[in-house]
Amino acid sequence: MSLTRTGPGHFEARNDRGGSIPVGNGAGEDGAAFTPVELLLVGVAGCSGIDIDLLTSRKAEPTSFEISAGADKVRDEEGNRLGPVTVTVQVTFPEGEAGDAARERLPEAVTMSRDRLCTVSRTVALPTPVDFEVR
């Protein structure tokens, strides 16, 4: 993953597979760019969404699937950070035996993602050192 400056307060994130996302501070000409905090929350929601989808869609294809993540920004003596992150999962499955099986699997899938599978939320939840190098 790399981040290249494209202008004052604006960057482009690129992965090794050629994908890119505009990253900014939420102001200026490119106000639609994702902020770093939004990307962190997208990472948490996306990681769990993938886990939950893989575990439940084996039983039945969802008719709707939305997942969101939110948190309040905290500024105190410890510096800027997010308060507790809340992930909201809204999934519906079709009527019938397969849909019933998927609905029954959903709470367990959410718990498995939260407690073990989702690398992003597990990294945020556990103490994880972040080191910086200047080259």
Per residue in 77-97, pLDDT tens? 999 999 999 999 999 999 999
pTM above 0.75, yes or no: yes
Structural domain range at position 107: 36-125
CA distance 115 to 58: 21
What pLDDT digit, counting tens, does each position of 5-28 carry? 998 889 999 999 999 999 998 776
- CA dist 31 and 77 (Å) reads 29
Q: Is there a single domain that holds both residue 79 and residue 90? A: yes
Residues 23, 14 contacting (CB under 8 angstroms): no
Pair 53, 117 in one domain: yes
DSSP 8-state assignment for residue 123: H
- Do 20 and 62 lie in one domain? The reply is no
Q: How far is 26 from 28, CA to CA, in rounded Å? A: 7
Show the tokens assigned to 57.
């869609």
